[in-house]
């Protein structure tokens, strides 16, 4: 997180299934990171290398399908933009989707509103999960 702020993210059962087995809660203190190449000791940090490898695979697929090259994109920004857009489509309040994305809340709310909105953020991510599931079910794979 920018600014070294803690940001709890309530994960859906589907995300837990995708992530696989995690350390027991007693071990989370020593292995707190879900996205890690060190089994949770340190956060994943080599986005550039991973993104380059992903771009190569996308280019191969698009070429094999006779499609134009994919326009330039940024992994984190495009994923966050897509999540924000889909949460709005799923009926999530804008202020809640901002909190899901860990954006700084402007104005007096930033100073006086200390509520964590964990239940609301969980609901937002469950709505996002359900919408993505519906979208994926409409694709002819």
In the numeric block, which tokens belong to residue 103?
Answer: 């954006």
Which pLDDT value is given to residue 16? 75
In the numeric block, which tokens belong to residue 92?
Answer: 């999530």
* Contacts for 98 with CB less than 8 Å, ≥ 6 apart: 105
Q: What pLDDT digit, counting tens, does each position of 52-102 carry?
A: 899 999 999 999 999 999 998 887 788 899 999 999 999 999 999 999 998
How far apart (Å, rounded) are the C-alpha atoms in residues 9 and 3? 17
Which pLDDT value is given to residue 91? 97
For 40, phi and psi rounded to 5 degrees? 100, -5
Residue located via tokens 């002819």: 140
Give the residue extent of every domain in the chain.
71-141
How far apart (Å, rounded) are the C-alpha atoms in residues 124 and 21? 24
For 42, phi and psi rounded to 5 degrees? -130, 150
Q: Give the mean pLDDT of the chain.
A: 85
How far apart (Å, rounded) are the C-alpha atoms in residues 123 and 115? 16
- The pLDDT confidence band at residue 9, using thresholds 50, 70 and 90, is confident
């Amino acid at each position: 997180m920018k600014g070294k702020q803690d940001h709890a993210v309530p994960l859906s059962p589907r995300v837990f299934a995708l992530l696989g087995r995690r350390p027991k809660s007693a071990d989370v203190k020593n292995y707190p990171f879900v996205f890690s190449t060190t089994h949770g000791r340190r956060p994943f940090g080599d986005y550039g290398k991973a993104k380059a490898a992903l771009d190569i695979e996308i280019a191969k697929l698009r070429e094999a399908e006779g499609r134009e090259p994919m326009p330039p994109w940024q992994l984190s920004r495009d994923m966050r933009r897509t999540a924000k857009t889909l949460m709005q489509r799923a009926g999530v309040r804008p202020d809640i989707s901002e909190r899901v994305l860990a954006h700084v809340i402007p104005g007096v709310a930033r100073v006086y509103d200390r509520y964590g909105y964990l239940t609301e953020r969980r609901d937002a991510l469950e709505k996002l999960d359900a919408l993505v599931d519906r979208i994926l079910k409409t694709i002819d794979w």
